[in-house]
Amino acid sequence: GLGRHIHQNRLLKLAREGGQMTPKDLGKFEPQRRYATLAAVVLESTATVIDELVDLHDRILVKLFSGAKHKHQQQFQKQGKAINDKVRLYSRIGQALLEAKESGSDPYAAIEAVIPWDEFTESVSEAELLARPEGFDHLHLVGENFATLRRYTPALLEVLELRA
C-alpha cells in the first residue's frame, strides 16, 4: 500500500494537517497535494480503527478469561466442603483397611465399621461426580463462551489485512 512508500512521520504530518482542514481549505490545494492529504487522513484513520478493533478484541478476551477464572473459583469453593468431607471419610476408611491388614481381619468388615456398605458405594459415586479432570483449571470454561467469539471474529479477521 501507499503507507509503505511514504515515511511515517510525513504521513502523520499530512494526516494531522488534513484532519484539521475544512473542505474549503482542502479545495485550495493543487489536486496532487489534496489527494495526498486525503489519502494520509484515510490511512491514519484506518490505522486508528484497526488499533481500536484489536484493543476491543483484547478486552473481550480478557473479560472471557477472567469470567471463566471467576466461575472456576466459585465452583471449586462451592464443592470444597463436599470434597473435604470425602477426603476425611476415605482417610478413615484407609486407616481401617490398614489396621485390618495388620491384624489379618476382614477388610470389608473394617469398611463397614466406618460406614455402612450402601453409604460407601453411594459415596464412591458422589466422589466420581466431585472429581475433576487432571488438567483442572479454568481454561475449559472459556470454551463455554465460544459463541461470543464466533459471533464477531470471522468478520474481524475478514476486515483485517494480516501479513507475516
Per-residue pLDDT band at 63 (split at 50, 70, 90): very high
The answer to whether residue 74 sits within a structural domain is: yes
Overall residue count recorded for the chain in this entry: 164
pLDDT of residue 91: 96
What's the domain count of the chain?
1
pLDDT in tens, 133-163: 655 677 777 888 888 889 999 999 888 877 7
The answer to whether residue 164 sits within a structural domain is: no
Per-residue pLDDT band at 31 (split at 50, 70, 90): very high
Which residue, among 3, 96, 90, 88, has the nearest Cα to 44 in the 3D structure?
A: 3
The answer to whether residue 44 sits within a structural domain is: yes
The answer to whether residue 153 sits within a structural domain is: yes
Domain extent at residue 138: 2-159
The answer to whether residue 81 sits within a structural domain is: yes
pLDDT in tens, 76-135: 788 888 888 999 999 999 999 999 999 999 999 999 999 999 999 999 988 888 876 655
Per-residue pLDDT band at 29 (split at 50, 70, 90): very high
The answer to whether residue 59 sits within a structural domain is: yes
pLDDT of residue 141: 78
The answer to whether residue 6 sits within a structural domain is: yes
Residue predicted with more confidence, 133 or 9: 9
Residue 48: pLDDT over 80: yes
Q: What is the mean pLDDT of residues 61-85?
A: 87
